[in-house]
Every structure is written in C-alpha cells, then in structure tokens.
Amino acid sequence: LGQPLTLVAQASNHYRLLDEEGEMLLEGQIGRVAEDHGISLYVSELIARPGTRFDLKKTGWLTAVKTLQKTLKVSEKGKKTGVFLLTLEDPDADRAVAILNAIANVYLRQNVERKSEEAQKALEFLQGQLPKLKAQLETSESRLNDYRLQRGSVDVGLEAEALLDQSAKLEQQISELKLKKLELRRRFTDNHPVIQSLEDKLGRLQTEQQTLEQRIKALPSTEQEVLRLMRDVKVQTELYTLLLNKTQELEVARAGTIGNVRVLDYAVRPDRPVKPKRALIVALGLVAGAFLGILLVFVRKAMQQGIQSPDEIEKRLGLSVYASVPHSEAQKKLHEQMKKGRGSREYLLARVDDTDLAIESLRSLRTNLHFGMMDADNNRILITGPAPGVGKSFVSANLASVLASADKRVLLIDADLRKGHLHTYFSLSHKPGLSECIRGDMSLSDAVQPSGQDHLDILSTGAYPPNPSELLMSEAFGKLLTDASTRYDLILIDTPPVLAVTDAVVIGKLVGTAFLLLRAGRHPLGEIQQAQRQLENGGVKIKGVIFNDIQPKRSQYGYYGSYHYAYK
C-alpha cells in the first residue's frame, strides 16, 4: 500500500507489473484479472507501444474516498427540484468524465437494487401475515355459518345495516393501520415521527369505534351478535383481498429493473480547463496582500478586546448562557433622561416599549428560569457582575417587570447598599428600604414600595449605611429573606459587583439561583474567571450567565486598555 510500482506494456495485449527493484510481481492480459504475490490487477484498456512504462501506486480505500470527496461537488439545481448537478475537478479531463459517469451509473444501479430490496422486505412481511389473516377469515365465516344453522335466518334492520357498514369500515381502517405500523417498525423505532403519526390516527379511530360500540349495544341482543359476526367476516374478507393485491404489486416491483432516478445528461469532456485562472490569481494576491497588511495593524487590538460572544463563555468557562440581551437604543435614551431627571419619569424599558428586542430576550430568560429553578433550594435569584457599569440594574428592573407580567408575585430588592439606584427606574425614593428592615427600624410590609405595576413590589436600599457588609452578614437579613420568600413567588436581588466588594458572595449563600451578568466586549477572559473563582470559593454556585448589550457590529464594541474596581 503506497509503494510505487511500474507497469510495462508488452506485445499481444499483455503487460507486466514490476516493483521498485525491477522484480516482476505479475504478468497479465488486458481485459482479464491478473493475480499474483497478493496483488489483484485489472486493466480494461492499454494503448501503448511495447516497452512503454507507467507508474502505479496503490491507494487505500478510505484515502481514495476522502480524495474524491474533496474534488466532487453535488448541488441541487433550483429549490426542491430533485435535479442534482455533479461536478468534479481533476488534472485529467478524461478521467474526470469517466469518474462522474461511473458514479452516475452506480447510483442508478443502487437505486434499482434498493427499491427491489424494499419490495422484498415488504413482500416477506405480507406473506407472513396472509396465512394468519386467512385463518382468521375462515374462523369468522365458520362462526357466522354455525350461528345461522342454530338460529335460522335472522333479519337485520336498516339501522343495524348502517351500523354494520360504519363498524366494518372503521375496523378495516384500524386493521390496515396496525399492519402498516408492524411493517414500519421493521425500519423505524417507536419514537420516529412516522410511527407517532400512525399512533395518533389509531387513537382517533379507536375512539370513534368505542362510540359506535355504544350504539351497537343499544340494539337487541340477537342483532348485536349477528352484526358482530357479519362485521368480522366483511372486514377480514376485504383486508385479505387488499393484502393479496398488495402482494401482487410488490412481486412486480421486486422484479422491476427501473428505479425512480434517471440521468438527464452524462458528463462530457470540457473544451478548456477551469483552472488555473491567472488573472484571478494575480488579483486575489493583491487583495490578500493588502488585507494581511491591514490585519496586522489590528491584531493587537483584537487580542486585547473582551469576550464578544456567548459561545466563548460556554466553551472557555463551561457556564451556560441563559440569555443574550441585545443593545437597545431606546434604553440608552431612557438612561440619559434618567440621569438628567428629565422626560416622562417612566424610565423602565419594559413599560415604555415592551416590543424592544432587549425585552424579548428577557422574556426568553423568564422561560429558561422556569426550568432552571426546578432544583433550586428557594425562590431567590441573585444577579451580580464582575465590575460596575455592566447593566445589572437595567436587567434586574426589567426582568422583574417581565416576571410580574406573567402573574408572578415578585419582590425586587436593591441590595447594593453603597450605590444602589434601582428606585430611579420606578421614580421612587431610596428610603425607607432594606437597611431600615435589617436594623429593625421598620417591618418588611412598611418598607416595601409599590412599583406601579401589578404583582411587582420594590424594596430599595434605604439609607446608605457605613457598614453594609456587616448588615448583610447579620441574622436579621437572613430572616428578612425567609419572610419575603413566604410572601412572594420570586425574590430578585440586585447586588454590588463581585470583584469590587464581598457583598455578592455574602448574599449568594442565601439564594437558590445566582447569575453572573456580563457585558459584551467589556470583560477579558481573566476578569470573568476571577469573578467565577471568587463566587465559587465563597460557596456560591453560578447557575449561568446573562450576556448583556450585544452590539449589532463588532466594531462598535470599543476598546478598554485597563480595568479598575474602585467602588466607593
């Protein structure tokens, strides 16, 4: 295999095959198979003077197939036309034509053989069913004749005749479907769509049959018995006749030599080679040179950019991306109005424009949450991020609104006791709130503020305390969350960045579901890994990632030369 060999033409349509050292391996005649030294060779045609030498090399079957796959292209001419175009590129035009025509002929032969094989399998199945069905028919006819001999002639009313026709028709359809199912199960599993479709049809027919049986039971007992016996004979007679006709059809199909595929045009030798195209090569060389020059300028910048796609998160960190939130120009305008204190005082995107793509992605997250929280210890959800400015408050506020719109009682807690500003999205005051509840200055019921939306309440930060971490680590905070969990279906907690302060880790131990919020193009891989380690080392299991602010174009992501975590 792979060893170079030499074929030497001889007189009188003979040839010899030599190895590398010139030793003869075999001698053969054109048009016949020659075998010797473990080598089998067939030469169909040899046009050469005696003494002409040809170099040969044996290629493995798998290697030959892979080589052919690289040069062979198959495409459909038009959409759903069933007409395919085969194209092959080869240095030898005549060899390309021979290969293509051989592929076409083999495909035709395989198509005929496949149809014949399918017909044979179906025929074997039917031939196995015919004796059983014939025996059942003979038994049913015998029962009907015995009954008539015992009871004499029995008149059947018009209603009973109508019921007989309906019942026989249904029984025949059910029997045909069962036979078809048995035949298909020889090729498919029970979960295949074809089998499932047959199951649905059988269920509907059997339901109709049960309804019809109830009507038959209302007839006199004599008519019931006669009707059942006549129905059995009629159904099995029609079914037996059907199978006999089907068997004859399959006999014809098995013996057939024509498939359902034909060659419209065989390959012909082209007048000119398709490659190489020198003008195109020169033009592409110039373009490639210019492109590589530009590419080198941006390589460093591209290497320093943050993670750009959810796929990178899943591949490199092993974290599932539960939602990808696209950039929203409408939210950008609302944020500018909120910072300046201008506008309609309605700064929540889910209320201003609930058809925005960012809100649609949060609806998708709501659906994923339904399944993702099935194994959670409680109904509390934490959202944190590696650094400030990633959009935690935007996602938390709008996600809470989306959850509440599904008739869930939701409590949104702003646990960022340093710089929390969730209350501004709802035009509310930041106090009283969480800090007053933890200190015991106010009950949860008194501190909670209505959001203006049904089923959604807000617990803002309250007065900013000098010791936020100590407050969050107190028993009072844990009891507060336990109390809130009994009053609401979902508790959504917005926390400070995990790399800036430890508050997220403290709160994360008390929730059942924790999400890491990332902003597209903002975080290098090392920053995300550091945030992941800090949470996991603190005993917080990250459920998944929410990927925020995905830009429509990569060039709009911007560039960040360094990262700082000052958070005062």
Peptide bond into 432 cis (omega under 30): yes
pLDDT of residue 244: 76
The larger pLDDT score, comparing residue 490 to residue 179, is at 490
Q: Do residues 504 and 383 touch, judged by C-beta distance below 8 A?
A: no
Peptide bond into 276 cis (omega under 30): yes
Task: Find the Cα–Cα–Cα–Cα dihedral 56, 57, 62, 64, rounded to 10°.
Answer: -40
Q: What is the mean pLDDT of residues 163-187?
A: 70
Q: What is the mean pLDDT of residues 415-432?
A: 90
HEC sequence for 105-154: HHHHHHHHHHHHHHHHHHHHHHHHHHHHHHHHHHHHHHHHHHHHHHHCCC
Note the pLDDT tens digit of each residue in 290-312.
Answer: 888 888 867 755 655 678 888 88
CATH topology of domain 310-552: Rossmann fold (3.40.50)
Spatial separation of the C-alpha atoms in residues 546 and 383, rounded to whole Å: 9
pLDDT of residue 555: 38
Task: Give φ, ψ of 425 to 5 degrees.
Answer: -65, -25
Q: In what order do the strands lie in the sheet with 53-57?
A: 24-29, 14-18, 4-9, 53-57
Note the pLDDT tens digit of each residue in 347-382.
Answer: 899 998 989 999 999 999 999 998 888 889 999 999
Q: Do residues 414 and 408 touch, judged by C-beta distance below 8 A?
A: no
Note the pLDDT tens digit of each residue in 148-165.
Answer: 666 655 555 555 566 666
As to burial, measured by CB atoms within 10 angstroms (0-12 exposed, 13-18 middle, 19+ buried), residue 86 is: middle
Note the pLDDT tens digit of each residue in 79-133.
Answer: 878 888 888 888 888 888 888 888 888 888 887 777 776 666 766 766 777 777 7
Task: Give φ, ψ of 274 to 5 degrees.
Answer: -85, -20
Q: What is the mean pLDDT of residues 424-453?
A: 92
Tell me the two tokens of residue 529.
């890994």
pLDDT of residue 560: 34
DSSP line for 173-234: HHHHHHHHHHHHTTTS-TTSHHHHHHHHHHHHHHHHHHHHHHHHHTS-HHHHHHHHHHHHHH
- For 432, which DSSP code? S
Q: Do residues 123 and 247 touch, judged by C-beta distance below 8 A?
A: yes
Helix ranges (DSSP H) in 382-466:
392-404, 434-439, 444-447
∠ CA 89-92-94 to the nearest 5 degrees?
100
Q: Do residues 75 and 26 touch, judged by C-beta distance below 8 A?
A: no
Find the helix or strand (DSSP H, E) in which 354 lies. Answer: none
∠ CA 55-56-59 to the nearest 5 degrees?
150
Most confident of 1-5, 153-157, 177-181, 550-554: 1-5
pLDDT of residue 99: 87
Note the pLDDT tens digit of each residue in 519-562.
Answer: 988 888 889 999 999 999 999 999 999 999 988 754 333 333 33
What is the Cβ-side half-sphere exposure of residue 514, based on CA atoms within 13 angstroms?
22
What is the Cβ-side half-sphere exposure of residue 550, based on CA atoms within 13 angstroms?
14
Tell me the two tokens of residue 277.
């195209």
- For 386, which DSSP code? S
Domain boundaries, the chain: 4-95, 112-255, 276-304, 310-552
Q: What is the mean pLDDT of residues 385-395?
A: 92
Spatial separation of the C-alpha atoms in residues 198 and 196, rounded to whole Å: 5
Q: Based on C-alpha coordinates, what's the Rg of the chain?
A: 39
Task: Quote the pTM value.
Answer: 0.48
pLDDT of residue 455: 94
Mean pLDDT of the chain: 82
Measured between alpha carbons, how far is residue 251 from residues 43, 117, 118, 144 in Å?
39, 11, 11, 34
What is the Cβ-side half-sphere exposure of residue 1, based on CA atoms within 13 angstroms?
6
